[in-house]
Structure 1
Amino acid sequence: MSDKSRPGVAPSEGERIAKLLARAGVASRREVERMIADGRVAIDGEVLDTPATILPNLRGVTVDGKPVGKAEETRLFAFHKPSGLITAERDPKGRPTIYTALRNALPKNAGRVMPIGRLDLNTEGLLLLTNDGGLKRQMELPASEVPRTYRARAFGDVSQAQLEDLIEGVTIDGVRYGRIDANLERRTGRNQWIEMTITEGKNREVRRVLEYLGLKVNRLMRTAYGPFELGDLPRGQVVEIRKGDLDRFRSQLKKVGGK
């Protein structure tokens, strides 16, 4: 489908509406496209039927009938996600979500924030949150090669040599997992503590790779995402990443993808 521009707006003078709405913190670009398909986005009262609309700004744009404000300054928060929470706004099964905990943990002026990547129900640790859908997408893309570090406690036996072989990547059930930097930290009985750094972040990647090695993961914690670390942040609490640290990271973030 070809791009559609608002009358009088040349494509070179604007950006796709999905990108503008993502930057304004409405949702990720992919989520915005779904919202458009569901008829939730309108321009000057006319329901939008394509995400390929080019606009110079968000003037006259509404989502669910509410005007969209101009893009806010990008903010990034670190949240220590406890085990037992779903990384979603709502769960059909009624299980508690991260937003249950975030209601009281986030600053009152945080506005709407979106998780960067996901942590499974039983995975705990560092979950980054942002109001910028563009930053969210860029940090999640495997091509950006943003490292994610995990500590896993797993039952069974594995050698450091087996873990070092993962540096070349591994194919499991037809799925290729790229470079994984894995180290055996310590043993406690039949349990092993293993640190793993990945850059692709495929669905359940750490668990699947360790299970492939014959281990059963009984605790999994993300300790870092890019240069941002969990540190001693208490479980269930949030801290905002300093603007200088965020700006420095964004200047170094690998530029991938297009509009």
Structure 2
Amino acid sequence: MSEKLQKVLARAGKGSRREMETFISAGRVTVNGKVAYLGDRVEGNEQIKIDGHSVSLQSKEDELCRVLMYNKPEGEMCTRKDPEGRPTVFDRLPKLESGRWIAVGRLDINTSGMLLFTTDGELANRLMHPSQKVEREYAVRVFGEVTEAMLQTLRAGVKLEDGPARFQKITYRGGEGRNHWFHVVLSEGRNREVRRLWESQDVQVSRLIRVRYGDMELKRQLPSGGWTELNLQDVNYYRKLVKLPLETQSKVKVDEKAMDNAKSRRIRRSVKKHQHRNQQATRRRRS
């Protein structure tokens, strides 16, 4: 049975469906030597290339869906390679024999916290798509006076330059002086949406941390800059959430311990080694 070309490419780990649609529209994809167009369908036995490089196709049955949870620090870019040489969220991820890690959405350079990666482009696409209404929760520190009228406005909705937006839930978490912490919930991931909503009320966001995606929270013992691979149960939570078939296998061993203090320390040491190598490389470039 034929499938949309962008869906097949996403499953092969070349990016999300949205990214693949962009590639196709730009004329970067060929099928059996001919430039592909949006709307093209394939059977899976064609010769498909991106920028002249052959794509190794995978059937739905052959691909093993893997998901990582990453604790993004501030200062990292959500891109595979930054032209200015800044660190990216992909720098420390484990190497794959085939395919590649796909980020589930983005966090801007000044935002930290929970970022998911997967090898399954269809899962990434559905988790990001507004139609699925997957909740994202953020811890936000704001600077400025916040009134109940402002909060009601943010719950009811304001008009941003790319359309109406609102917080589904706002919870006050304390603060001193003009600095206050709130937890806010959205079910879409537009560019800088949390910051822009607060800025619409003339309030400045001084810290922003994503703490939850769906019902799964950022693991407290996962250090900044560290990642952990989700087990079969957690992978299938996300697959079920967006109505995808459940997996029966996982790279994570059934008896492997969950995040504990020892594992957290190992990850923290690995992060420090990576940061040290990055600092040395930066000094070499500057010298």
Q: After superposition, where does 1:87-126 map in structure 2 within 5 Å?
A: 87-102=78-93, 106=94, 111-126=99-114
User: Which ranges of structure 2 fall in alignment gaps of 5 or more residues?
Assistant: 245-287
- TM normalised by structure 1 equals 0.82
Partners in 2 of 1:117 and 1:210 — Cα distance?
20
Range moving further from structure 2, 218-227 or 27-36? 27-36
Q: Deviations over 1:16-49 (max 9, x none)?
A: 12111112211122322333344443334x1433
Partners in 1 of 2:218 and 2:28 — Cα distance?
37
Cα distance 1:68–1:109, how it changes in 2: closer, same or farther (>3 A)? Answer: closer
**Corresponding position of 2:169:** 181
Q: How many pairs align? A: 239
Q: Deviations over 1:143-177 (max 9, x none)?
A: 21111000011111213553244322222457310
User: Which ranges of structure 1 fall in alignment gaps of 5 or more residues?
Assistant: 1-12
**Corresponding position of 2:39:** 52
Range moving further from structure 2, 217-226 or 70-79? 70-79
Q: Which has the higher strand share?
A: 1
**Corresponding position of 1:250:** 239
**Corresponding position of 2:225:** 236
Is contact 2:80-2:89 (8 Å) kept?
A: yes
4+ long deviations beyond 6 Å: none
**Corresponding position of 1:83:** 74
Q: After superposition, where does 1:35-74 map in structure 2 within 5 Å?
A: 35-44=23-32, 46-63=33-50, 64-71=52-59, 72-74=63-65
One-letter amino acid of the structure 2 residue matched with residue 203 of structure 1: N
Distance apart, 1:248 and its partner CA:
3.0
- TM normalised by structure 2 equals 0.75
Partners in 2 of 1:111 and 1:141 — Cα distance?
22
Identical residues among aligned pairs (%): 35
**Corresponding position of 2:253:** none
One-letter amino acid of the structure 2 residue matched with residue 76 of structure 1: V
What is the root-mean-square deviation in Å for CA atoms of aligned residues?
A: 2.4
Distance apart, 1:85 and its partner CA:
0.9
Q: After superposition, where does 1:159-178 map in structure 2 within 5 Å?
A: 159-160=147-148, 162-172=150-160, 175-178=163-166
Counterpart among 186, 198, 207 of residue 210 in structure 1: 198
Partners in 1 of 2:41 and 2:81 — Cα distance?
31
**Corresponding position of 2:267:** none
One-letter amino acid of the structure 2 residue matched with residue 129 of structure 1: F
Q: After superposition, where does 1:193-204 map in structure 2 within 5 Å?
A: 193-204=181-192
Is contact 2:3-2:43 (8 Å) kept?
A: yes
